[in-house]
Amino acid sequence: MTTASADGGWLARNRMTITPILFLLPGLLFFSVYVVFPIFQSFYISTFEWNGLGELEEQGRYVGLQNYHELFYYDRNFEISLWNNVRWLVLYLLAIPAGLFIALFLNQTIVGIRVYKSLFFFPFVISQVVVGLVFGWFYLPNDGLFDVLVGWFGIDIKGGVIGNPNTATYGIIVAGLWPQTAYCMILYLTGLNAVDPEQIEAGRLDGAKGWRMLWHVILPQLRPATFIAFVVTIIGALRSFDLISIMTNGGPFGSTRVLSFYMFEKALSEYGFRMGYGSAIAVVLFLIMLIFIGYFLWQMYQDEKALRR
């Protein structure tokens, strides 16, 4: 009689442990094969001089940390790419306040507000390639709208915005901000729906309005939206590859490269036959991302802990 309660045996008894493991298994499997393993593989390949053709074991030459040495001490293009990455990371964050203010502006009930919302969201829907092309025309020297506009103020940028090494990266970042702002806007619009009207009412009774209302009452409630907007913007900044490829192809003279683009150029492009060197760049990029990934994970862990309390 006592054994009857253990119906189904071991499997049934440990159901609570086994079920989540089974559900996690496919994800873990793919994650380790397609993400974790390649990360270690990149570390490994980055210690070789290898043209990416044929077998690494046969044709690769072990060089230790020489690739990194060259990267940090001799490669000016790497330095330029790294700084461009920093520019992207910092300036791309402008999408968050911009998105917030558009969202606040659109968060009202008037006739046809859905149309306006869709129009503001539109740049996020079209492909990055199209955004790149459109801004490319916008920036055209002499004939482009931008050049005409600044021409009225007597400003003439030699070579046009994306033909001049001093302005090109900023020009591309502005192009990238257009869809990214729309993305942040939609995140905040959803967030604003969840703002508690009673708290606003209470704040109003206490005499809060304008900036104080925004800063002390609305924004704290939008914290989850801000976090997500921050995450997607950082990720967007680090994968700025397609806009650069479309608008300048890394030029003029390599001044708009970022690490991901430089890695592609060195390892996989038409003239790129340095798999080891490209992997070293990828590793550096990974380490930069790791800072943010670490922060995101820590933040989410803190949030969960707070919830469990």
Partner 1 sequence: MLKSIKATVAGAALVAGLGTVASADMSGTLRIMSDMSNPGPRAVMEGLAADFGAMHPDLTIELDIIDREAWKSQIRNALSANPPDVVNWYAANRMGPYVDSGLFMDISDWWAAGDYAGLDSVKGAMTIDGKQWGVPYTYYQWGIYYREDIFKELGLTEPATFDEEIANCQVIIDSGRKCYTIGSRYLWTAGGWFDYMNMRTNGFDHHMALARGELSWTEDAGVRETFANWRKLIDMGAYVEDHQTMNWQDAMPAMINGEATAYLMGNFVVDQLRNGGLTDDQLDFYQFPLIGDYPQGEDAPTDTFHVASGAPNPDAARAFLKFVASADVQTAINGPEGLGQLPVNANSAVADDEFIQQGFAMLSGNAQGGVAQFFDRDFPAEMASAGMEGLQEFMVFPDNLDDILDRLEFTRSRVYQ
Binding residues for partner 1, rule: CB under 8 A, are 51-54, 59, 70, 74, 76, 140-142, 159-160, 162-163, 248-249, 251-254, 265, 268-274
Residue number with CB closer to partner 1 (218 or 258): 258
Distance CA 218, CA 222 (A): 6
Residue number with CB closer to partner 1 (99 or 254): 254
Residue number with CB closer to partner 1 (30 or 74): 74
Q: How many residues does the chain have?
A: 309
Are the CB atoms for 148 and 141 separated by under 8 Å? Answer: no
Residues 116, 118, 120: CA angle, nearest 5 degrees: 70
Q: Least distance in Å: CB of 133 to partner 1?
A: 13
Q: Least distance in Å: CB of 144 to partner 1?
A: 10
Q: Least distance in Å: CB of 286 to partner 1?
A: 22
Residue number with CB closer to partner 1 (135 or 188): 135
Distance CA 232, CA 218 (A): 21
Residue number with CB closer to partner 1 (183 or 265): 265
Residue number with CB closer to partner 1 (134 or 192): 134
Q: Least distance in Å: CB of 163 to partner 1?
A: 4
Q: Least distance in Å: CB of 63 to partner 1?
A: 11
Strand partners, 62: 48
Q: Least distance in Å: CB of 237 to partner 1?
A: 24
Residue number with CB closer to partner 1 (142 or 193): 142
Burial of 296 (0-12, 13-18, 19+ CB in 10 A): middle
Q: Least distance in Å: CB of 254 to partner 1?
A: 6
Residue number with CB closer to partner 1 (23 or 253): 253
Are the CB atoms for 250 and 257 separated by under 8 Å? Answer: yes
Q: Least distance in Å: CB of 159 to partner 1?
A: 5
